[in-house]
Each structure stands twice: as structure tokens, then as C-alpha cells.
């Protein structure tokens, strides 16, 4: 039998625990506790790990916006998903820069919000994604 808790402690002691990507002593990209992710050495994340990261990121987005009036006012799943997609892409601070559009959304003026969103740098930088999101907001 292997004492996995003790092994974890030993590995954390020897490898260190990092909460962002870093280069190890050989210059290879690594995360967590010595987890090689550098493609040059065959490192990668497994599908289940990507799904765990995505799940956690989605939960963080939901927690961030769930009390906002512009989110609470949304009346359809499509609109809620659209706003969460924006929040995921833009981050907590980024989505909040859309003050006029978010106010229009909170007021249920979805077409006007769409017009306003199409004037943004976000729309110009990622037009296909932005258009899909705006159509979800406008169409409900």
C-alpha cells in the first residue's frame, strides 16, 4: 500500500506548487506541481483536465455576474449563456466596460444593446464570435 497523502506532501516539497505557468530549471513550461505541459517535450493536458479547468472557469464566471442587475434581468437561457460567454472571453473587468450595453440589457432593450455592442473594439477584434453572442442577446 502507498501512502498517497504523504507522497503528495513530498512531491510538493520537492517540486514546489505553482499557481501559474512557469519554466522549470531546464526551461520547459510547467504548471502546478511539476506538471510538464511544454509540447517540445511531449507535455500536455489530458481531456479530463481541460474539462475540469473549463468547469471551474465557468463557475467563476457565474459567481462573478450572478448578482449583477444586467444578469439577473435576463429572461432566457440563450441570453444568460451569451453574457457568460462574453464574461469568459473578456474577464470580470472587461465585461463591465460595456456600461451602456449592460444598462440597455438590464432594461430589456436588447436590439439597442446589439447596435451598441457592434460599435465596440471587442466586435472588431472578434467579429464572428461577437456577432453570434449579439444575436443570442437580441433574439432571446
Tell me the pLDDT tens digit for each residue of 31-87: 999 999 999 999 999 999 999 999 999 999 999 999 999 999 999 999 999 999 999
Of 5, 10, 14, 24, catalytic: 24
Of 5, 15, 64, 112, catalytic: 15
Mean pLDDT calculated for residue range 99-121: 98
The yes-or-no answer on residue 107 being catalytic is no
Would you identify the CATH topology of the domain 47-139?
Answer: Lysozyme (1.10.530)
Q: What pLDDT is recorded for position 26?
A: 95
Q: Is 22 strand, coil or helix?
A: strand
Q: Where in the chain is the domain with CATH 1.10.530.40?
A: 47-139
Query: Can you tell me the distance from the alpha carbon of 51 to that of 57, in angstroms, rounded to the nearest whole number?
Result: 10
The yes-or-no answer on residue 112 being catalytic is no
Mean pLDDT calculated for residue range 87-95: 98
Q: What is the pTM of this model?
A: 0.88
Beta bridge partners of 18: 32
Amino acid at each position: 500500500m502507498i501512502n498517497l497523502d504523504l507522497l503528495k506532501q513530498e512531491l510538493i516539497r520537492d517540486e514546489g506548487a505553482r499557481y501559474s505557468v512557469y519554466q522549470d530549471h531546464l526551461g520547459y513550461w510547467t504548471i502546478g506541481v511539476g506538471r510538464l505541459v511544454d509540447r517540445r517535450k511531449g507535455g500536455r493536458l489530458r481531456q479530463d483536465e481541460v474539462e475540469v479547468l473549463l468547469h471551474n472557469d465557468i463557475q467563476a464566471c457565474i459567481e462573478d455576474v450572478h448578482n449583477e442587475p444586467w444578469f439577473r434581468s435576463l429572461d432566457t437561457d440563450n441570453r444568460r449563456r451569451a453574457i457568460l460567454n462574453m464574461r469568459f472571453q473578456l474577464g470580470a473587468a472587461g465585461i463591465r466596460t460595456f456600461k451602456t450595453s449592460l444598462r440597455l440589457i438590464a432594461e430589456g432593450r436588447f436590439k439597442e444593446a446589439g447596435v451598441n455592442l457592434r460599435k465596440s473594439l471587442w466586435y472588431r477584434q472578434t467579429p464572428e464570435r461577437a456577432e453570434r453572442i449579439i444575436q443570442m442577446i437580441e433574439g432571446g
